[in-house]
């Protein structure tokens, strides 16, 4: 979209960081403390980012290159507090946008005709649950989410973006040492398909800790069974990069994969978070790799949307 919608025009431009002729990027990419758990979609040449934000609503951010972001309007305010971890999915069948939200440990869905429009609440799916993510594969829908207590990741077969089909299946729970450093946690599921194999990315240990990290598990079917990668976590605490986790994967205009996620600002207090990007890549054996950086990273990518 060459002309931003009225929703985006009304927004105040955030202090975004630049990519000098597309050669560098700087983390954080949004110069704002607070945004976390980001999900990104690409629609008509514009990236739309939706994060956890003010705890009572969701705002949308827009970008042409994954680096320079403008904060747009509020797209959904459900009423209660504890509004977290959105996931936005555009249904290829009806063209509508579905916002899977977590509000006070309740997962539901809201619908809009535009990615920067006002989403209308449509259904509640689960209670004592967080971190929903919709995945569509070969015309079939799968909703991944985290059931509490125990931070157990489940998958729900869906008849449509609004209708469940059958019963959910537990596919992951905290079992590995890195998932239990600061609390026993597996959360923030995100599905990626590569060469016929399904890669379920997820975050482990407490989200308020500096040891929060990202790993993955693989399966031959979206419903599992899933096997955790022995080299987990693949994105973890590094020099000046604290508690990287809970994000999404987006493909840029050249086919490169990017992890859009959050870090902790420093070790002064929990929940001091901001949004970052870094590359993800597969090696010839199909192993998924990633990293967490802080500051300026090179060589930088060509991130323009197709």
Q: Which domains does the chain have, with CATH numbers?
A: 6-297 (2.115.10.20)
Which tens digit of pLDDT belongs to each residue from 251-292? 988 889 999 999 999 988 889 999 999 999 999 999 999 999
* 71, 57 contact by CB (below 8 A): no
Q: Give the DSSP H or E segment for 9.
A: helix 6-9
Give the residues across from 292 on adjacent strands.
none
Return the DSSP state at 2: -
Is residue 98 within 8 Å of 136, Cβ to Cβ?
Answer: no
Q: What pLDDT score was predicted for residue 305?
A: 57
pTM of the model: 0.91
196-220 burial code (b ≥16 CB/10 A, e <16): eebbbbbbbbbbebbbbbbbbbbbe
On the CB side of 38, CA atoms within 13 Å amount to 30
Rg (Cα) of the chain, in Å, rounded?
18
* CB-based contact 129:116 (threshold 8 Å): no
User: What is the spatial distance between Cα 304 and Cα 306, in angstroms, rounded to a whole number?
Assistant: 6
- At 234 the pLDDT is 98
- Count other Cβ atoms within 10 Å, centred on residue 158: 19
Contact 86, 112 (CB under 8 A): no
Distance CA 168, CA 68 (A): 39
Residue ranges in the chain whose pLDDT is less than 70: 1-23, 297-306
Using alpha carbons, select from 90, 74, 52 the residue that is nearest to residue 7: 74
DSSP SS3 for 22? helix
Q: Which of 41, 177, 148 is nearest to 98 (CA)?
A: 41
Distance of CA 38 to the CA centre of its chain: 4
Looking at residue 19, its pLDDT comes to: 35
Residue 245: closest CA among 186, 194, 288: 186
DSSP 49: E
pLDDT at 303: 59
DSSP state of 114: S
User: DSSP code of 298?
Assistant: S
Q: Does residue 203 contact residue 214 with C-beta atoms inside 8 Å?
A: yes
């Amino acid at each position: 979209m060459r002309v931003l919608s009225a929703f985006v025009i009304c927004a105040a431009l955030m202090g975004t960081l630049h990519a000098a002729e597309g050669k560098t990027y700087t983390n954080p990419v949004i110069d704002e403390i607070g945004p976390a758990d980001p999900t990104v979609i690409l629609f008509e040449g514009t990236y739309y980012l939706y994060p956890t934000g003010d705890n009572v609503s969701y705002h949308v951010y827009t970008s042409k290159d994954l680096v320079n972001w403008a904060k747009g309007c509020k797209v959904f305010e459900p009423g209660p507090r504890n509004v977290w971890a959105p996931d936005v999915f555009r249904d290829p069948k009806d063209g509508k946008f579905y916002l899977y939200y977590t509000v006070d440990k309740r997962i539901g869905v809201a619908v809009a005709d535009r990615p920067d429009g006002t989403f209308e609440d449509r259904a509640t799916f689960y209670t004592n649950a967080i971190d929903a993510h919709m995945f569509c594969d070969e015309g079939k829908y799968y909703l991944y989410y985290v059931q509490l207590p125990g931070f157990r990741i489940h998958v729900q077969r869906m008849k449509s973006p609004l209708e469940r089909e059958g019963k959910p299946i537990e596919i992951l729970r905290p079992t590995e040492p890195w998932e239990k450093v600061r609390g026993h946690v597996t959360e923030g599921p995100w599905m990626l398909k590569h060469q016929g194999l399904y890669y379920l990315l997820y975050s482990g240990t407490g989200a308020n800790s500096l040891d929060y990290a990202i790993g993955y598990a693989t399966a031959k079917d979206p419903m599992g069974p899933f096997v955790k990668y022995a080299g987990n976590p693949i994105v973890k605490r590094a020099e000046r990069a604290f508690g990287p986790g809970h994000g999404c994967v987006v493909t840029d205009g050249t086919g490169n994969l990017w992890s859009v996620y959050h870090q902790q600002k420093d070790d002064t207090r929990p929940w001091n978070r901001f949004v970052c990007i870094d590359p993800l890549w597969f090696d010839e054996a199909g192993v998924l790799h990633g990293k967490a950086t802080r500051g300026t990273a090179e060589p930088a990518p060509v991130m323009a949307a197709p």
